[in-house]
Structure 1
Amino acid sequence: MMIIRYVQPEDRDGIYHLAEKAGYGMTSLKPDMDMLMARIQRSCHTVDGCLDKAEQGYLFVLEDVALQKVVGVCGIDVAVGLNEPWYNFHVGTQVHSSKNLNVYRAFPTLFLSNDNTNCSELCSLFLDPEYRKDANGKFLSKIRFLFIAAFRQYFEKTLIAEMRGYSDENGRSPFWDAVGHKFFNIDFAHADYLSGLGQKVFIAELMPRYPIYVDMLPIKAQQVIGKVHPKTLPAYRLLESEGLCYQGYVDIFDAGATLQADIENLRAIKDSQLVTVNICSDRLSAQEQSPYLVSNDQYAHYRAIISYHKPECGILTITPEQAEQLNVQQDDQVRVLTLNIKGK
């Protein structure tokens, strides 16, 4: 059985092994034990209510219960940019015209922006490649929406997700080579590493503050603005299906798209429901192929599983094993949401 729960200090080795597999572009998941432990402690302190909003962030793990192995991680930051500026580029338009010459030209431009300050952010999504099957990826990503639906009061009005931009198999980013590298004589992998250590602000402060004319960049750099890494495309489409969309903001390093949405418009906010638990000792057969996200909505001890048993008349029947993993008893309430969207 697979469960999702809050990260704990004893998960540090499992998280570290995942970070080693993450590769380039995962700025919030680096194989640095001190940084990872700080992130784990931050999540624990957030749940305990010990941090100000600017410091709060939740980190969840996907655990293979049979092997007691952490195989995935995902996170939500409550409010970005309150302690340090949150930078990205906004893709805008600069118009040049002359009536005398009968010339009118509109040029795409990049403006350094702090527009996403005080937004909640989806972050740190990574699943062990060996477990990229059996709906584990969707489970890991979408549980964050169900958590937000349960505890809407802890999050901001707007939700964003910075998507990993394009880089080649050697870790080279054509956008970084065309823009960032001109101001810093370091390669993209090193810049990405510094960002993961919390030095993104220092680098952003030395980026050009005047508009960058996209047409003046190399074609390869132009082509990746607002695009995502091929391995990130499934995650991009998944977030779109849940209500997020690209609105012209990109990462300052690799130009990967930032998706965003009004939290009230998320599918999980509108469609998730509370149902009553019925624990059945008899063997339950899956009634259908459509899986359901199921969470216990216990803030201090949050847990979630996937169930293939359809809720009926406000009642969800689960096995004793599932009840144990969810930490629920007969007639408790759980929150449910279809994992898949009809037709997708």
Structure 2
Amino acid sequence: MSFIIRSVRHDDLNQLVDLAKQFNLLNLPGDRKVLSEKIDRSEQSFAGKLEKDKAEYLFVVEDLEEKLIVGSSLVIAKHGNDDVPHSAFKVLKRDHFSSDLGIGFIHQVLRFQLDFDGPTEIGGLLVDKSYRRRPEKLGKQISLSRFLYMALHPDRFEERVLCELTPPLTEEGRSEFWEALGRRFTGLPYQEADLLSQSHKEFIESLFPQEDIYLALLDSKARLVLGRVGEATKPAQHLLESIGFHYLDEVDPFDGGPHYGARLHEILPVKYGKRAKVTEFPDASYKDQMLVATTGEEFMASLCSVDLRTSAEGNQVAVAPKARTILGLEVGDEVYLAPFHYNRGK
């Protein structure tokens, strides 16, 4: 089968709605009107028509043989500004010692923080359930490909890159952390508060306690999920760790899910990515698999078999014929390549 990752287009809307309805993520809901607006925003963002704090880039995976949109990923160029700041609980430690008793305790505390100059945020990662566990590793392809675009246009993104990971939730979709903390200060159920927070932060700032919150005062169910990752999200966590992301000792104020982050230039597809000119070698071996992205007007990327060589003239790459056709590459075109496999762990 042939797959291509590319920027979203408006005629993808119907299929994107069907895909999003399988999951109903907050930042990519199965709502036709919301997704239509997101596609508009994405097209304007790729065209360079929006300020950084308004820009969102939506990528899709297309099965070219079936003409189906089977995956997506999203980059929010700047999450947190003067109007809608980024919010989080910082997880800190505080020491308490009693001379009379000769004993001490190290307590974990939560400190509420607002960031008015926020990071770039990645999210919206979806793969059609019938396309999971395929040898092409489409989830990994769509996740990594967005970093190739970010490497090509670093000025459009922040140096700090954030990913908010989903924690364990109850079977009904409730958050034990929210029930123990947020609900007591806002009176709102979890789903309603989380949805409202996408566009309004004032109620969090006004109603959440500004003082440190001792975790020892929360019930054990809430403490157990703090900073943990839900089973369905663990593959995404492992992938992020393998390319340089790490836990920031920071959690979502609604569900206690962990925030992972990295510096843009230290994310491995950015750090080890390189530009190269497309060429033909008479003895091409195509022994390496790399993600290859176009550098022209429309962003397209694909996992390709390549033969990459470096000479005094610079990097030159021969791309296997089928992949070259998929990406519409001609000899002399410039592409951006990044490894697909990384050995780095925690």
Aligned to 1:78: 77
| Equivalent residues of 2:4, 2:301 under 8 A apart | yes
What per-residue deviation string (whole Å, max 9, x for no partner) do you get for residues 251-283 of structure 1? 11111110111112111222112222136999x
Of residues 203-212 and 42-51 in structure 1, the stretch that sits farther from structure 2 once superposed is 203-212
Question: Which runs of 5 or more residues in structure 1 are unaligned?
Answer: none
For 1:204 and 1:80, the matched residues in 2 are separated by 16
* Mapping for residues 23-172 of structure 1, pairs under 5 Å: 23=24, 26-82=25-81, 83-115=83-115, 117-132=117-132, 133=134, 134-172=136-174
For 1:201 and 1:147, the matched residues in 2 are separated by 33
Deviation at 1:250, TM superposition (A): 0.6
What per-residue deviation string (whole Å, max 9, x for no partner) do you get for residues 18-42 of structure 1? 221114xx22011222221221111
Deviation at 1:99, TM superposition (A): 3.8
Secondary structure at the aligned position of 1:22 is classed as: coil
Question: Which runs of 5 or more residues in structure 2 are unaligned?
Answer: none
1:326 is aligned to 2:323: no
Deviation at 1:149, TM superposition (A): 1.6
Q: 1:38 to 1:230 in 2, by over 3 A?
A: same
For 1:114 and 1:187, the matched residues in 2 are separated by 22
Give the RMSD, CA atoms, in angstroms: 2.4
Aligned to 1:338: 339
For 1:293 and 1:209, the matched residues in 2 are separated by 45
| Equivalent residues of 1:20, 1:30 under 8 A apart | yes
Aligned to 1:265: 266
| Equivalent residues of 1:86, 1:201 under 8 A apart | no
Deviation at 1:75, TM superposition (A): 1.2
Q: What amino acid maps onto 2:7 in structure 1? A: Y
Deviation at 1:291, TM superposition (A): 2.7
For 1:175 and 1:169, the matched residues in 2 are separated by 14
Secondary structure at the aligned position of 1:92 is classed as: strand
Q: Pick from 301, 306, 311 the counterpart of residue 309 of structure 1.
A: 306
Q: What amino acid maps onto 2:138 in structure 1? A: N
- What is the count of residue pairs matched by the alignment? 337
What per-residue deviation string (whole Å, max 9, x for no partner) do you get for residues 132-178 of structure 1? 22211110111122222222222212111111121133212111111
Secondary structure at the aligned position of 2:336 is classed as: strand
| Equivalent residues of 2:308, 2:318 under 8 A apart | yes
| Equivalent residues of 1:278, 1:317 under 8 A apart | yes
Q: 1:41 to 1:306 in 2, by over 3 A?
A: same
Q: 1:126 to 1:98 in 2, by over 3 A?
A: same
Aligned to 1:295: 293
Q: What amino acid maps onto 2:308 in structure 1? A: P
Q: 1:216 to 1:176 in 2, by over 3 A?
A: same
Q: What amino acid maps onto 1:223 in structure 2? A: L
Aligned to 1:254: 255
Secondary structure at the aligned position of 1:114 is classed as: strand
Secondary structure at the aligned position of 1:301 is classed as: coil
| Equivalent residues of 1:292, 1:310 under 8 A apart | no
Q: What amino acid maps onto 1:306 in structure 2? A: L
For 1:343 and 1:107, the matched residues in 2 are separated by 32
For 1:53 and 1:214, the matched residues in 2 are separated by 36
- Identity within the alignment, %: 29
Q: What amino acid maps onto 2:194 in structure 1? A: D
Secondary structure at the aligned position of 1:189 is classed as: helix
Secondary structure at the aligned position of 1:329 is classed as: coil
Deviation at 1:115, TM superposition (A): 4.3
Secondary structure at the aligned position of 1:208 is classed as: coil
Secondary structure at the aligned position of 2:228 is classed as: coil
Secondary structure at the aligned position of 1:308 is classed as: strand
TM-score (norm 2): 0.89
